[in-house]
Structure 1
Amino acid sequence: MAAIIDYLSFSWTPEELSQIFDLAKMGASIKAIRGFEFNEYGDRVTRDALDTAAIDYKAAIRAKLRDTDFAIGADSRKFHEIKRDMLDHFGLNTLDCLCRGEVDRFINRLNHGLGLFGNDWSFSLRSGGFSGYSHSANILVNGQQAGLCAWGAKNHGCYVSFSGTGTAVLDLNAIHQALHELPGAKITRVDIAFDSLDGKYNIQTARKMAEHGQFVTRGRPASYCYIESGHMSQLCSYQKTSGKEETIKKRFGFVADKGKSFYVGTRDAGKLLRVYEKGKQLKSEHQNWVRWELELRAKDRVLPFDVLLQPDKYLAGAYPALGFVSKEEQCSIATHKRKWFTSVDNAVRNGATQCGKLVNFMRQCLDMDDSQIVRLLTNHLETHEIPDRLNQPVYQDSAQSKDIRLRCMKFIEPDSHDIYSLA
């Protein structure tokens, strides 16, 4: 049986909101607003407030972007401070409505190609937000809970997730295409499941694989957890007291009739494998049914869209033990350790503190250009000479990940000190 997608979540940022954040990263400040007439603006707001459905938020924000003059690089404040002012300028509620419209359109697309034909998709608003997003709603398919959606400009846009009920009735090929069309789309979590209905690959198989080191990646053993649940069954035994007299001694035994579970990895690391007896969990007629389920999160890794089309090879490539899922082709996902970015950030900060004034003196007083300054300060160094704390390897899950190099990363504006957004 082929592997299936049992959970999916992703996020994206509307183009207009992305432009606003790009301006904030570049240290933009508002220089002037062209064609601003208070009375005319106030009349328009009053008129639109009578019929909120008449407001085209995308057009309104684009018009405001077009009518505002920005001074790039003029603001030396931190990114989050400039971002807050930008959100206030464009109107946080307006930007939230922009994100809400994006979610509305996506849910509507589920009824026109993204979902399998014959199902009715809708959503119902929730009272609060979700995971940092200001607003949220439940996604329903034929009236049943199938996922969740959330939106909010402060958290950079829109979020959608589908449970197993939802993914079962999605057209994953169409979702794959839609992700390429959504601006800034990013898969945040995906669960890939393989079902062994006959119990050939069971809990005992997983434990033996662990004992033989088949869950070891990068030479380091993974953490594990083993759980079994069931009932305590009363047993009776006879115990002689004196002569031929016997008394009944009660004791209890453990019967794991609710199933066993074996976990490898942790959620904190972004990769967790669950092996559990799903047949017993669901009280199914397939009592030997065992599910192998891999949970991948976008933590120190980028989850490729192709995982939706070929889940088998990504499940098989997660651990050597999972090679039985797909023996023809396997693919693992590279990890980028945040420790590397933290070290770089600290090195840049320390370098700016120690040498910033000297570089500024060379530029302002000695009238040297940037290339002359760099050449003068680095002429005595060989190309391989870098700080020891930055001379770290790129941690990878397997040899298939060797093509990913951290040197392709680029810094954004140094004023923001936000290099982690590149991870």
Structure 2
Amino acid sequence: MRTKSNTLFEKANRLANEVYLDESGKPKQQMARLPVKGEYVIIDFLNMTVSVDTFIKPEIEKFGEDVRTLTDEIEFKEVILDRIQYEVRKLFGDRFKLTPKGSGIHGFRDCYIVLSEQGDVLLNVGMGGASQNHKVLFSLTGMGCHFAQKGWETKVYEFLAHTAVSGKISRIDLAHDDYDGAYSDFDWANEQESLDRFVLPKARNRPACVIHGEYKHNDPNGKGLTLNIGSRTNGKCARCYEKGKQLGDKDSPWFRSEIEVHATTLREIPFDVLLKPTEYYCGAYPYCDDLVQLAKKHKADKSSIPCNRFTTLEKSAKISLFKVKEIFKHQFGKHLKVFLEIFESGQLYDTQKVCDMLVTDKKEDYYPKRLRLPSHYFSLSDKDKLKAINEFEKEYVENTYYQSIKKRQAQKQLQREQKLRRDEDEVMNYFVSTLTNKTQCFYTPNIGH
């Protein structure tokens, strides 16, 4: 007797091997795949950036950090590209061979792509460009997630946490598939939205909801319906849609519920999401947790899966390490100097004695909650922590600088517009008053008659 899990595996395997024709008549292969063992969610898109230093560590150790200025030199650029190609194959498999695209991507001057046999883009690699601060972009598409070698999620985690310099996940899509429509469909998802299951407990506003497809006429052509929740502008959104119909099978019950999360100045995407996608999926919306619970019940799985939310920061909740240094110097610098004079030993300050006296006695959990650190800080070795902080602070300062410039420009533009409106109002008031005076001269009422 076949178990449900075996049936599900066969279903996914069959769908993955099916070929259908798109609207232009071009053959397409379906992208059905099972989650990693123990998970109920797959990763369906991934954007990550790393510093170019990741691929020129030997040159930096030999010539110093100024070697970054040579990344545009043709010979040096080829060396970097070869090392990127080696890393790409190690992460995703031998079939991932980079070829020049001939144009840039997302502000990066150069782009290299990996194509499938059918011509679909599996991976984009962007590099170069003054505005990108010597970063390299890796953009793994949904098709790329499908064709990447088994276990790529763990390899990417190890790469970001232990090999990459200034590694960051800037976007990730997580998806749950109900291939048989056994416990979810469009009508159920639409009903859950009406019950506010896409609203987090402390959310102030309900996210926008838009339906795509011929919903009014009950999708007569079988192209599928989509429920869009939220917006990319806010950095997090959800899509619940009839995946099988979207791929060309009008009778398919395959229903997919996916979330798209972007890193912002107030939201971090931790590397752990690569290893525990279901936990972060459940924490995104109450709907997602409900869906996973239904999937577990369908498989008779009694194990527990915790909800783990993406870290969202308050604007004033985090301060940098260097800001802490400035605050400490301003508020306690005089006191510290007195301590050092008191414990002076000969010509030298006994700084160790002073530090031992002033530092906390806590052995753990002593990191201030407001202190802002790189997301991978605690996975680094002691010698790499200071370097990571310096890179992190440099990037933060530069971003803050550019944001302050944009803010000042926006304020000046607003002031110009306000002044223009005031001038227009003055002119209009003068015109109206003049017109009124002339009208009174011509039509002065004859009170005597």
CA RMSD of aligned residues (A): 4.7
1:325 aligns with 2:292: yes
Counterpart secondary structure, 2:188: helix
2:148 is paired with a residue of what secondary structure? coil
What amino acid sits opposite 1:160 in the alignment? F
Q: What CA distance in whole angstroms lies between the structure 1 residues aligned with 2:172 and 2:258?
A: 10
1:197 — aligned with what?
Answer: 179
Q: Which runs of 5+ in 1 are unaligned?
A: 18-56, 66-85, 234-252, 370-402
Matched with 2:87 is: 106
TM-score, length-scaled by structure 1: 0.58
Count the aligned residue pairs: 307
Partners of 1:336 and 1:405 lie apart in 2 by: 17
Q: Is the 8 A contact 2:240 2:257 kept in 1?
A: yes
Q: Quote the offset at 1:293 in angstroms.
A: 1.0
Residue 409 (str. 1) matches residue 375 (str. 2):
no
> 1: distance between equivalents of 2:273 and 2:107?
26
- The aligned counterpart of 1:123 is 98
**Bigger helix fraction:** 2
Does 1:4 find its partner at 2:42?
yes
Is the 8 Å Cα contact of residues 283 and 308 (structure 2) preserved in structure 1? yes
Change (3 A) 1:404 1:102: farther
Amino acid corresponding to residue 112 of structure 2 in structure 1: A
Structure 1 range deviating more: 165-174 or 254-263: 254-263
In structure 2, the residue matched to 1:388 is none
How far off its partner does 1:325 sit?
1.3
- Structure 1 residues 274 and 341 mapped into 2: Cα distance closer, same or farther (>3 Å)? same
Q: CA deviation at 1:254?
A: 7.9
TM-superposition CA deviations, 1:348-383 (whole Å, max 9, x none): 9x999xx98xx89x99xxx999xxxxxxxxxxxxxx
1:19-68 per-residue CA deviation (whole Å, 9 max, x = no partner) reads: xxxxxxxxxxxxxxxxxxxxxxxxxxxxxxxxxxxxxx654443222xxx
Instruction: Output the amino acid matched with 1:407.
Output: R
Question: In the alignment, is residue 93 of structure 1 matched against residue 72 of structure 2?
Answer: yes
Alignment correspondent of 1:226: 210
- Does structure 2 retain, via aligned residues, the 8 Å contact 1:229–1:256? no
What amino acid sits opposite 1:63 in the alignment? K
The separation in 2 between residues aligned to 1:404 and 1:132, in whole angstroms, is 36
What is the deviation of 1:130? 1.7
Answer yes or no: is the 8 Å Cα contact 1:187–1:298 preserved in 2. Answer: yes
Q: Distance in 2 between matches of 1:187 and 1:417?
A: 18
Give the structure 1 partner of residue 227 of structure 2: 262
Alpha carbons of structure 1 residues 307 and 88: separation in structure 2 relative to 1, 3 Å: closer
**Cα deviation code 1:285-320 (max 9, x no counterpart):** 543322101112222333233433333332222111
Distance (Å, rounded) in 2 between the aligned partners of 1:146 and 1:305 = 21
SS where residue 268 of structure 2 aligns?
Answer: coil
Q: Which runs of 5+ in 2 are unaligned?
A: 1-7, 9-39, 297-303, 345-365, 374-385, 401-449
Q: What does residue 307 of structure 1 align with?
A: 273
Q: Is the 8 A contact 2:198 2:207 kept in 1?
A: no
Mapped partners of 1:279, 1:16: distance in 2: 40
TM-score between the two structures when normalised by the length of structure 2? 0.55
How far residue 183 of structure 1 moved from its aligned partner, in angstroms, is 1.5
Task: Give the aligned partner of residue 253 of structure 2.
Answer: 288
Correspondence list, 1:76-87, <5 A:
none
Residue 169 (structure 2) aligned to one of 173, 181, 187: 187
Greater relative contact order, per chain length (Cα 8 Å cut-off, separation 6+): 1
* Conserved? CA contact 1:132–1:155, under 8 Å: no
1:135, 1:151 within 8 Å by CA — same for their partners in 2?
yes
- What is the DSSP-based 3-state SS (H/G/I as helix, E as strand, rest coil) of the residue aligned with 1:227? strand
